[in-house]
Amino acid sequence: MKVTIAADHGGFELKKFIMDWLSVKGFEVSDSGNFVFDEKDDYPDYTIKACKNLISGNSDKAIVICGSGVGACVTANKIKGIRASVCHDSYSAHQGVEHDAMNVLCLGARIIGTELAKEIVTAFLNARFIEEERFIRRLNKIKELDK
Ligand code: RB5
């Protein structure tokens, strides 16, 4: 599975940690920036890059990180085809994919530690959308908003 990860200064260290860990686990991980620590950078720039990598098919899922996860999430959900959420528990991270076809996981590096982040990312990446009529029906209603 191809995963792209982005972060601003608030999530820079956690991005590095998750990228290294996913690479060791055998995931194809791409970096959507920021590539250097810059305390003046803006989370929309990297969130948009990660989401575009996802929409263009260069990645199967995306993880975007900022200080709280909120700014990245607000940004991501403005982009057509993106279904993003902040998840700081593993249940939401897998149920969001299974029921809601969430394709972008947003994390707040100032809120959670590395071990919890690993559990949440694992739940998100292992989950698959469940193709039940009720979930497809709801997804189609969300997709209408993209038109
Ligand atoms: C940056 O300092 C911080 O505001 C940003 O990373 C994020 O938390 C926004 O939601």
**Domains and their CATH numbers in the chain:** 2-145 (3.40.1400.10)
Nearest to 28 by CA among 68, 59, 52, 73: 59
Distance 86 CA to ligand 1 centre (A): 13
- Residue with CA closest to ligand 1 atom 5: 67
Q: Are 73 and 106 in contact (CB under 8 A)?
A: yes
Percent of the chain topping pLDDT 70: 100
Q: Which atom of ligand 1 is nearest to the CA of 73?
A: 10
Give per-residue pLDDT as tens, 108-122. Answer: 999 999 999 999 999
Q: Considering 9, 51, 66, 73, which one is annotated as catalytic?
A: 66
Exposed / middle / buried, residue 15 (Cβ in 10 Å: 0-12, 13-18, 19+): buried
Confidence (pTM): 0.98
